[in-house]
Amino acid sequence: MENVKPFLEFRNVSKIYPTGVRALEGVNLSFREGEFVFLFGPTGAGKTTLLKLINREERPTKGEVWLSGCRISHLEERYVPLLRQNLGVIFQDLRLVPEWTVFENLLVPLEVLRVKRSKAFQMVKEMLRFLQLEKKGLHRVEWLSGGEKQKLSVGRALIHRPELVLADEPTKNLDEESAQAVVGILSEFAQETKATVIVATHDQELLRIFPGRVVTLERGKVRAS
Amino acid sequence: MKFFFRRLSRKPSFFIMGCLSIFFAQVILNLFIFGYLELDKMKEMWKGSFTLRAFFVVGTPPEKIQEVQEKIAGWAAVKQVVFVDAEEARKRFLEYFALSEEDLPGGENPFPASLEVLPKKLEDLPKLAAEMKRIPVFDEVVYGGKNVEELLRFHRFFVGVGGIVVLGVFVFVLLVIGNIVTLKVRFHQEEIRVLRLMGATNRQIRASFLGEGVLEGFLGGMTAFVVSSFFFRFFLEFLGTSFPTFFWVRFEDFFLLLFLINVFLSGILSTVGTLAAVNGVLREMP
Ligand SMILES: Nc1ncnc2c1ncn2[C@@H]1O[C@H](COP(=O)(O)OP(=O)(O)OP(=O)(O)O)[C@@H](O)[C@H]1O
Ligand SMILES: [Mg+2]
């Protein structure tokens, strides 16, 4: 571990929202490539904020965020799309397009990356099979159940095989069995592709079942790593 | 990217509204084009009837007449000068009223010789008349007078006031187009946000709306062209048979103009409108 350069690094990062809320304070963290990490903490601890600093939805008030030798906290605006194209994100509020079909939603990351149409269709079909949603490919997202939507958002985050996956409460609204299935998918993906995966959660049960590093956040500070 | 078909199939009403607004903008413009061309044609027609006629003082020597004719022919505003001698004037008079030689008492020819002056531009007629009056060899200088001035006034009125009204309506329709496009883009705001989070560049997002915009412009413009063409064809046919003595614009003469304006202008309108709307929404997003 000592000799491996960190893949993702937070250097003394603080985030104070314009409202005055101190979401993160002096966070120092580093992640190695291929790590499977649980970001654990109660509601309002700053988990989502921390993930948003990685995909540049937010910028730190103080400190720096580095990814693969690139200081992404200070990345020029025009390179942000490039950064995002290489991430797979499961948003806490899913961010699916409800009027579009399951198929179309899965296609978005591939279209953004300009993957050839025939290849993209093939990949989407495979993903539908993998998620066991083959029969719902042409259903609109607004017609899906909560669990199905959650699975779909996992699929969309993984379909373009990103090197870094950020999963914000991917088990929210799911029963225990489905929750474990979803984390199972992420962990399987990590093992298969050697991707780095960060899962934000407040579900202690998951930490017990799945092996992985646990980073605990509390009121914007890292409690244990 | 095929987002366009996705949006179109889910929310066709925006597309239809876009097409319709372009359509109406073009039809209004087409009517104005027609009116303008027709008026120009009328002007052309009346130009022939309202020739300036200058009568020589009886007894003006032929050398003097020749000299004056050459001088006037040299003026920049003059297109053509024709000399009509007394004999010719008499003949024309008889012809015009369908009289025979016997109907006219013999003796001295009462008709003076004259010059027929055709100006290059109808608007120059009053000025030209005033200038010729200053030459002492002329007894009298006449032209359509009031009629010509009225026609010119009407022409100015149409091009001026009519133009402003049509321009106003046109601007209004442009605003409608702009608002429809903005409404559409705003309606898809959430989707744009998702695309951005997935790493779509502004250019990709713009392009995804542009396809639809261009198609809207093309369809709206083409429909306007087809509908206007049919209307003008039959309308002109009707005018031609009902008022055969007037000159009407020939449809063939402005068919191409109509086509080019309808297709290109609507293409430009919808493209610019779409780009402006998408840029506006993108600029508002963090
Ligand atoms: N855009 C924002 N503007 C102002 N305050 C914010 C904003 N986003 C988050 N906060 C505040 O920052 C703090 C941390 O929020 P964050 O969403 O990161 O917590 P979290 O750990 O993800 O919580 P949860 O488990 O409920 O999702 C909270 O107090 C929240 O109210
Ligand atoms: Mg959160």
- At A80-100, the pLDDT tens digits run 999 999 999 999 999 999 989
Q: Which residues of B touch A57 (CB under 8 A)?
A: 197
Whole-angstrom distance, CA of residue B274 vs CA of residue B180: 10
Could you report the per-residue pLDDT of A135-189, keeping only the tens digit for each?
Answer: 999 999 999 998 999 999 999 999 999 999 999 999 987 888 889 999 999 999 9
Give the residue carrying structure tokens 């600093």: A53
Query: Given this model, what pLDDT does residue A143 score?
Result: 92
What tokens appear for B103 in the block? Answer: 């109907």
Query: Given this model, what pLDDT does residue A154 score?
Result: 96
Contact B197 A112 (CB under 8 A): no
Q: What average pLDDT does this structure show over A18-41?
A: 95
A170-209 CB burial, b ≥16 within 10 A, e <16: bbbebeeebbbbbbebbbebbeeeebbbbbbbebeebeee
Query: Given this model, what pLDDT does residue A3 score?
Result: 52
- pLDDT, mean over chain A: 93
Q: What average pLDDT does this structure show over A68-90?
A: 95
**Cα Rg of chain A, angstroms:** 17
For chain B, helix, strand, coil in percent to 5 are 75, 10, 20
Q: What is the value of pTM for the model shown?
A: 0.76
Q: What average pLDDT does this structure show over A104-108?
A: 95
Residue nearest ligand 1's atom 22 by CA: A48
Among candidates B1, B10, B197 on the partner chain, residue whose Cβ is nearest the Cβ of A111:
B1
CA distances from B250 to A37, A223, B158 (A): 79, 86, 20
Query: Given this model, what pLDDT does residue A45 score?
Result: 95
CA-nearest residue of chain A to B187? A99
Residue pair A186/A199 in contact by the 8 Å Cβ criterion: yes
Q: Give the ligand 1 atom nearest the CA of A46.
A: 18
Domain boundaries in chain B?
2-45+149-284, 52-142
Q: Is A2 on the interface with B (CB under 8 A)?
A: no
ipTM of the assembly?
0.92
Residue nearest ligand 1's atom 2 by CA: A17
Phi, psi of A18 (to 5 degrees): -55, -25
Fold adopted by B52-142: Alpha-Beta Plaits (3.30.70)
Which stretches in chain B have pLDDT values below 50? 1
Query: Given this model, what pLDDT does residue A2 score?
Result: 47
Among candidates B1, B2, B10 on the partner chain, residue whose Cβ is nearest the Cβ of A99:
B10
Fold adopted by A34-48+82-224: Rossmann fold (3.40.50)
Query: Given this model, what pLDDT does residue B62 score?
Result: 85
DSSP conformation letters of B216-248: HHHHHHHHHHHHHHHHHHHHHHHHHHHSTTS--
